[in-house]
Amino acid sequence: MRLSRRSLLVGSTALVMASRAARSSDRRVLRLESRTIDVNGRPATRYRVVQSSGAWGLTLDQGEMFDVRLENRLSVPSSVHWHGMNPPWRQDGVPFLSAPPIAPGQAAEYTFPAVPVGTRWMHSHFGLQEQNLLAAPLIVREQSAISSGLQEVVVMFEDFSWTSPREIFASLRKPKPMNMASMGSSVPDLNDVTYDAFLANDRTLADPQVIDVEKGGEIRLRLINAAASTNFMIELGELDGRVLTVDGNPVRPLEVRRFPLAVAQRVDIALRLPAGAATALPVLARGEGRRLQAGVLLRPAGAAVAKIPETAAAPAPAIGLAEELQLRAEAPLAARPVDRSVPVDLTGDMAGYVWGMSVHGMEGLPVTVAKGERVELVMRNATMMSHPMHLHGHSFQVTEINGQVLAGAVRDPILVPPRTTAKVVFDADNPGLWAYHCHNLYHMAAGMFATAVYRGFS
Ligand SMILES: [Cu+2]
């Protein structure tokens, strides 16, 4: 990992120079806009991120610069985070932490090497805008994916409500009656928001996207959980899938027919298509503890399109770490001792809907690191909800779950279920002031947000 990282950095210096020569032609424009979509027959006005060409999000090839002008065409301030990319601190898109928000009618510019490669995504980090669908795919196609020639299918899953995010949050924070409060302290809570629909590429199963695929061929799925607060179980039905990457980072191949995808996580799956499929093949995401699902249909030539119900026969199970324990990084971090181990307690409860992160036993304390250190985060979840924990600016590797040591996946977030301790390590190689938080939007808004800061970074 150390060597390959160094070679990437050397390569990126050359790219910076090449890009300066050709900047005007390489720069992409991304626009934050309002638009209206149809959700089960009703119009919904929500946000989106599109290029000037109308293309959704951004797709680059390995070796390209991330060179973007971001225009805010909304009537409200905004700020977009490039999730899973490790840009310089000031380009990370967290308002008031890495840069001021972008005012309506204003723009901001970003230029950095597009690393790491793989399936990333982008989303607003301003207020509760992410719940209003201000998110899009951000794919940096690996050289291996490009040369494989495989057809790629990008699917972004989201949770949708007719209730405004502000009202959802207000009702979550309302004091609960005692019986609910005491229930909440002993039984895990799978969900705290009841959504009206789940979307796959902005569509419900009443009118799903149908994607033509080659009969008997292989395709590469790039699946993104862009939901505000829903963990999904990906259901491939009878199809044989092979996990290639999680959160864009390669893992040893793992054969699957279902795979958990926590909030903000991604998975790339190579999918073998049967030679003789009479009907189009669904790729579904079912909400944790819910029967509600969303998905796309893969249609081999000649296959009929059958209706897939929006409500499955059985709810998806609780999303745990059974699969996580099987994942092994294909490109692990270099073996080296940990220089600094930081205890992080995840705190809070459903009753009061107050969530927190206590670093070294204190709420409000940042994780403090020095450049060059190998840092370990020990996340202990004493609450009865799971928390998808995300550190900006760095990719961490999962090293231990409830005492079980592993050379686990390189990730950006790790789901920490109730009563679980997860250890991850990262190399402090990107000086700045970074957000470190739960990626459940409402948990974050209710206080599960901390920072990681480098000594003498500015
Ligand atoms: Cu959380």
Quick: pLDDT tens for 342-383: 999 999 988 889 999 999 999 999 999 999 999 999 999 999
Comparing 6-10, 12-16, 73-77, 152-156, which segment has the lowest mean pLDDT?
Answer: 6-10
Residue 188: which pLDDT band, with cuts at 50, 70 and 90? Answer: confident
Over the stretch 217-233, which tens digit does the pLDDT of each residue have?
A: 899 999 999 999 999 99
From residue 191, give the alpha-carbon distance in Å to each of 187, 365, 370. 12, 28, 37
- 13 C-beta neighbours (distance < 10 Å), count: 10
- Centroid of ligand 1 to alpha carbon of 164 (angstroms): 20
- Centroid of ligand 1 to alpha carbon of 169 (angstroms): 14
Q: What angle do CA 234, 295, 124 make, to 5 degrees?
A: 85
Comparing 24-28, 200-204, 320-324, which segment has the lowest mean pLDDT?
Answer: 24-28
- 103 C-beta neighbours (distance < 10 Å), count: 12
- Centroid of ligand 1 to alpha carbon of 356 (angstroms): 9
Residues facing 42 on adjacent strands: 39
- Centroid of ligand 1 to alpha carbon of 375 (angstroms): 22
Measured between alpha carbons, how far is 287 from 290 in angstroms, rounded to an integer? 5
- Centroid of ligand 1 to alpha carbon of 191 (angstroms): 11
- Centroid of ligand 1 to alpha carbon of 290 (angstroms): 18
CB 145 within 8 A of CB 171: no
What are the residue ranges of helices labelled H in 177-252? 178-186
Mean pLDDT of 62-91: 98
- Centroid of ligand 1 to alpha carbon of 444 (angstroms): 7
Which of 314, 326, 322, 254 has the alpha carbon at shortest distance from 288?
314
Which of 407, 444, 441 has the alpha carbon at shortest distance from 424?
407
Which of 99, 122, 85 has the alpha carbon at shortest distance from 392?
85
Measured between alpha carbons, how far is 175 from 77 in angstroms, rounded to an integer? 30
Residues facing 58 on adjacent strands: 138
The pLDDT, as a whole number, for residue 178 is: 54
Burial 23-51 (b: 16+ CB within 10 A, else e): eeebebebbbeeeebebeeeebebbbbbb
- Centroid of ligand 1 to alpha carbon of 179 (angstroms): 22
The pLDDT, as a whole number, for residue 306 is: 94
Is residue 204 over pLDDT 60?
A: yes
Residue 186: which pLDDT band, with cuts at 50, 70 and 90? Answer: low
- Centroid of ligand 1 to alpha carbon of 188 (angstroms): 13
**Phi and psi torsions of 187, nearest 5°:** -115, 130
Is residue 181 over pLDDT 60?
A: no
The mean predicted confidence, pLDDT, of the chain is: 92
The pLDDT, as a whole number, for residue 65 is: 97
The pTM (predicted TM-score) of the whole model is: 0.93
The pLDDT, as a whole number, for residue 7 is: 34
The pLDDT, as a whole number, for residue 184 is: 47
- Centroid of ligand 1 to alpha carbon of 346 (angstroms): 8
**Residue 317, preceding bond cis, omega within 30 degrees?**
no
- Centroid of ligand 1 to alpha carbon of 318 (angstroms): 15
- Centroid of ligand 1 to alpha carbon of 43 (angstroms): 31
Over the stretch 220-273, which tens digit does the pLDDT of each residue have?
A: 999 999 999 999 999 999 899 999 999 999 999 999 999 999 999 999 999 999
CB 99 within 8 A of CB 434: no
Taking the CA atoms of the chain, what radius of gyration do you get in angstroms?
A: 21
Residue 18: which pLDDT band, with cuts at 50, 70 and 90? Answer: very low
- Centroid of ligand 1 to alpha carbon of 450 (angstroms): 12
- Centroid of ligand 1 to alpha carbon of 348 (angstroms): 9
Over the stretch 396-411, which tens digit does the pLDDT of each residue have?
A: 999 999 999 999 999 9
